[in-house]
Amino acid sequence: MDRFGLHFRFVKEEDAEFIIQLRTDKQLNQYINNTSSDIEAQKYWIRMYKQREREGIDYYFIVYYKLEPCGLFRIYNITKESFTSGSWIFKRGCDFRVPILADIAIVSLAHKLFPEKNHVFDVRKGNNKVIKYHQSFNPVLIKEDELNYYYMLSRDNFYKARKDKLRLLGIKMD
C-alpha cells in the first residue's frame, strides 16, 4: 500500500534484523515491551505472526519513506468487536511527519477493512508526546492500569482530526 509518500508492506522473516535494531535501541524502546536481541527468536515470532496474518487477526507492517525502511506499525487484536492499532516505532532521524502519516494511513485502512469494529489502542504512561498526539483525536479513556492508558477512538473523531492533521502537514486528501 502506498499513501502520503509512504510505502507499507507486510513484515517478512528477512526483516528480523531491522526489527531487532529498532526494538532494542535504548532511545526508542523505553515505552514498549522488551525484545530479545536474538534474530532467530525474532524470525520465529514473525513465522507465528504470519499465521495470525493468514487468520486475519494481526497485520504487521514495515513502513518505508524515500525507499528506506523507516519504521514498524501494527493492526492487531482484531476481534468481533474491535481492532487495535499501534506498536509503532520509527528509527531516529526519520522525518517527524512519517509516524503521524503512518498512523493516519494505517488507522484509515483499518476503518475501511473493519467498518463495524471499534478502534481501541493503548499508550504507555509517561510517553507524553504520544499521549498528547492521541488525545488530539479526542478519544475516550476506557481504563488504565499501572503501565498503560486504554482508549477508544470513534470513527467520527478520527476522521475529523485526520482532516486537520493532514492540512497542517500540507497533505491534500484525494
Report the Cα–Cα distance between both ends of the chain, in Å, rounded: 15
pLDDT at 157 over 60: yes
Three-state DSSP at 86 gives strand
pLDDT of residue 28: 72
Go through the domains of the chain in sequence order and give each one's CATH number: 2-168 (3.40.630.30)
Residues with Cβ within 8 Å of 59's Cβ and at least 6 positions away in sequence, in order, are: 10, 53, 74, 75, 76
The pTM assigned to this predicted structure is: 0.90
Tell me which residue of 48, 21, 49, 47 sits closest to 35, measured CA to CA: 21
- Please give the Cα distance from 123 to 128 (Å, whole number): 9
pLDDT in tens, 6-22: 999 999 999 999 999 99
Per-residue pLDDT tens over the stretch 30-82: 666 777 789 999 999 999 999 999 999 999 999 999 999 999 999 999 999 99
